[in-house]
Structure 1
Amino acid sequence: MKVGEETNAEPQSASEDAGLETAEATAGDNAEGQETPEGANALERQLEEQRKLADEQYQRYLRTQADFDNFRRRSRQEKEDFAKYASGKLIEQLLPIVDNFERALSASKDNKDYEALQKGVDMIYRQLDQVLVQEGLQPIESVGQPFNPEYHQAIMQVESDEHEEGIVLEEMQKGYKLKDKVLRVAMVKVSG
């Protein structure tokens, strides 16, 4: 602007300038994230709600962790008890057989009838065999079968003209399986 030229703008008063600056400052503060008291209270309420929710979740986590620790302890105790008393059912089934053996031994002392004793022992043997079969015990068939190292242990090899090589000729000690698991291999004599 040149000296002496007139301007179309009207001069502003000082009070108008101050009001304008205050309004701009307030608008600028609100735009930069400054909240009114009502907004601050709402944020504090939200924060408090989130803190309560976090505390509830933490308490739930602690209870779940304690429940899991108790479950693990209880499971370990149940396993130990099961291992300790697993044979209880089998022993309960064997007790009548033990009773029969005691009766047979007692009767043989008073009576010299060895034929009756033999019959009694045979009956006891069949009773014992029945209990073992019910529990899943099976003898391994060996004689006449091809030698199988999973089921047989060769303790002797014999030349045989009647059988081809590797056939079990004689069983020296029986082998047994419990369901599908080999408990004891059979000790056998094999053709060579």
Structure 2
Amino acid sequence: MNKEKETKAKPKKDKKLDGLQAKIVKLETQNNEYYDKLLRFKAEFENYKKRMIKEQSLAVKYAAESIIHRILPIVDDLDRALIAISDSQDPAKIIEGVKLTHQDIKKLLDEHLVHEIDPHGKPFNPEEHEAMMTIDSSDHEDNHVVEVLQKGYKLDGKVVRPARVSICKKND
């Protein structure tokens, strides 16, 4: 009778063991599939990053292309002005040509959201101005811009070149 119980118990244990082994095999297969997917996603992501880096570098490389196309006619105008200077005796024509070229450049800058910083007579602002010298003057307010030595510019509100200025410093 003891042997009978053992033989009945063994098949139950064997069935249970077989079921667990089958489950292990299934889980290992599933694990391998997930691992393969992970490796593919990782490779795809690496390729995506490389593609984005390449596209960014091309975008940076060719970002200036449109503005260069707009600047080249202005350079052509300046070339013609230089030729006109040597050929012409009429200074009024030369001055007019330079003024027109200057207007073209200002218009181009304005179209690209580049604007002058006008600090004259305003309080010194270190974010927009670079103090090149100080002047002791009773005609101007202390720490205000007296003279603009070089214009400054902003690109869409961001300072790309601070204005170089002289400021009033009163010595009391």
Instruction: Provide the secondary structure at the position in 1 that maps to 2:15.
Output: coil
Counterpart for residue 180 of structure 1: 157
From 61, 69, 72, give the equivalent of 2:46.
Answer: 69
The TM-score with structure 1 as length reference comes to 0.77
**Deviation digits for residues 57-88 of structure 1, max 9, x if unmatched?**
22222221111111111111112222222211
Partner of 1:143: 120
Structure 2 residue 35 is the aligned partner of structure 1 residue 58:
yes
Query: What are the equivalent positions in structure 2 for 1:152-191 lying under 5 Å apart?
Result: 152-191=129-168
Select between 140-149 and 44-53 the one with higher mean Cα deviation: 44-53
Unaligned runs of 5+ residues in structure 2 are none
CA shift for structure 1 position 146:
0.8
Give me the CA root mean square deviation.
2.2
- Partner SS, residue 35 of structure 1: helix
Question: Where does residue 59 of structure 2 map in the other structure?
Answer: 82
In the other structure, the counterpart of 2:5 is 24
Q: Report the alpha carbon displacement of residue 46 of structure 1 after superposing the two structures with TM.
A: 4.5
Aligned to 2:82: 105
Larger Cα-atom Rg: 1
Farther-moved stretch of structure 1 (42-51 vs 54-63): 42-51
Correspondent of 2:102 among 125, 128, 131: 125
Provide Cα deviations, 1:10-67, integer angstroms capped at 9, x if missing partner: xxxxxxxxxx232122234346x2328xx83x66655544344333222222221111
C-alpha distance in structure 2 between counterparts of 1:29 and 1:49, whole Å: 24
Question: What residue ranges of structure 1 are gaps of 5+ in the alignment?
Answer: 1-19
Distance, in Å, in 1 between the alignment partners of 2:130 and 2:87 is 43
1:112 is paired with a residue of what secondary structure?
coil
Q: Which amino acid aligns with 1:113?
A: D
Q: Secondary structure at the match of 2:167?
A: strand
Match among 88, 93, 96 for residue 70 of structure 2: 93
TM normalised by structure 2 equals: 0.85
- The amino acid across from 2:126 in the alignment is P
1-structure distance, mates of 2:123, 2:20: 85
C-alpha separation in 1, matches of 2:112 and 2:95: 26
